[in-house]
Structure 1
């Protein structure tokens, strides 16, 4: 019997729910996958849209992971300043076959020193800050640099998960999972990227994110010392 492939998702308060559940839905179907929902303490973790997720293990009890997956969300401001969280990420990354993030989860990897000299991506509104953690910013839905996989904003987590599934189990398995979840996006508007969105749409988003980005900048400065 093949050994289980241990995948750990880092959970922290105020994470973006789809950053986590998008990849989860794909990676749960990876043959041999053993999933671990890891937080500083076991129990409920509130997301940015209200519902709670249930962490089934904590940093001390988490087994050695084959894949570490770090979602994003506004809660990264606190998570990347938490010494226990960063120590856990560093420890697991040392032995993992794959180190991954979705959206602004990249900055937790960055705060752990794992993006230095690496090509990486993140949510478009935070993308320009990747250089501050030593990364080479790349504008793409999914970016690979060695065993590091980073996904863009929120929905790019599904693309990331299918990409890494193909790497691990082969393209035919990834294609079958894509069909199984009927991932066939056909959005009603072509506004999913800043270079295609109408100017007024981009302005609304930038105005909405302005305060959040300012808070993030201060938190990142504190995290990097």
Structure 2
């Protein structure tokens, strides 16, 4: 890491959800003296879940041995990755030296499948939250959960909140707030349907159908 003090490794795999990783990338990539690298099992283009956006990954797991921060996003492709022993073993290995091991949305299940979250609290997308208990994890409905050196964010957009929380812990509140201002993260959504508790029942039902399709 020439000229940098911190390396952030963001894991990609086919079928990842874009905002899970791009939101944290925008935040963490703006921290001083920080290098962000996308990493995957094999180099090349990795296509997202909507099959309309791809990221060209240069670094493989073998190339990134001791990142300071590890981040795993979620997406439909995460299910297949839970049986990827190469990914799970890499997560176990880098976790031994990382300052922070983190996940957004259903990426939390990859940390859980690697055995890293057993006995800890964590969060994930509301539609999958209860499933964390199958891995010995205590599910939390909080948008961001910090437990030890593990940080998890709830669904998709919560990755920005998690990354800003992490930025404050790493670089201080002033730096984190400056990043927040630079990206103008001041959400004022036109609807109040951003959580199961606030969304109308019909909207929740429609969301379940679309996620199950």
TM-score, length of structure 2 as denominator length: 0.96
| Post-superposition offset of 1:35 | 1.2
Question: How far does the alpha carbon of each residue in 1:103-131 deviate from its partner, in whole angstroms, 9 at most, with x for none?
Answer: 00000001100110011000000001010
| Post-superposition offset of 1:32 | 1.2
User: Does residue 1:11 correspond to 2:41, yes or no?
Assistant: no
Instruction: Give the 3-state SS of the residue equivalent to 1:31 in structure 2.
Output: coil
Instruction: Give the 3-state SS of the residue equivalent to 2:25 in structure 1.
Output: helix
Correspondences of 1:23-102 after superposition (within 5 Å): 23-49=24-50, 50-102=52-104
User: Does residue 1:190 correspond to 2:192, yes or no?
Assistant: yes
| Post-superposition offset of 1:63 | 3.4
In the aligned structure 1, how far is the partner of 2:212 from the partner of 2:164?
A: 32
Q: Gapped runs of 5+ residues in structure 2?
A: none
Count of matched residue pairs: 211
Correspondences of 1:146-165 after superposition (within 5 Å): 146-165=148-167
Between 58-67 and 171-180, report the one with greater CA deviation: 58-67
| Post-superposition offset of 1:207 | 1.8
Q: Gapped runs of 5+ residues in structure 1?
A: 212-225
Equivalent residue for 1:173, pick from 152, 157, 175:
175
CA RMSD, Structure 1 to Structure 2 (Å): 1.2
Aligned to 1:217: none
In the aligned structure 2, how far is the partner of 1:172 from the partner of 1:61?
A: 33
In the aligned structure 1, how far is the partner of 2:3 from the partner of 2:16?
A: 33
In the aligned structure 1, how far is the partner of 2:142 from the partner of 2:33?
A: 29
| Post-superposition offset of 1:9 | 0.3
Aligned to 1:223: none
| Post-superposition offset of 1:44 | 0.6
TM-score, length of structure 1 as denominator length: 0.91
| Post-superposition offset of 1:2 | 7.5
In the aligned structure 2, how far is the partner of 1:125 from the partner of 1:186?
A: 23
| Post-superposition offset of 1:208 | 2.0
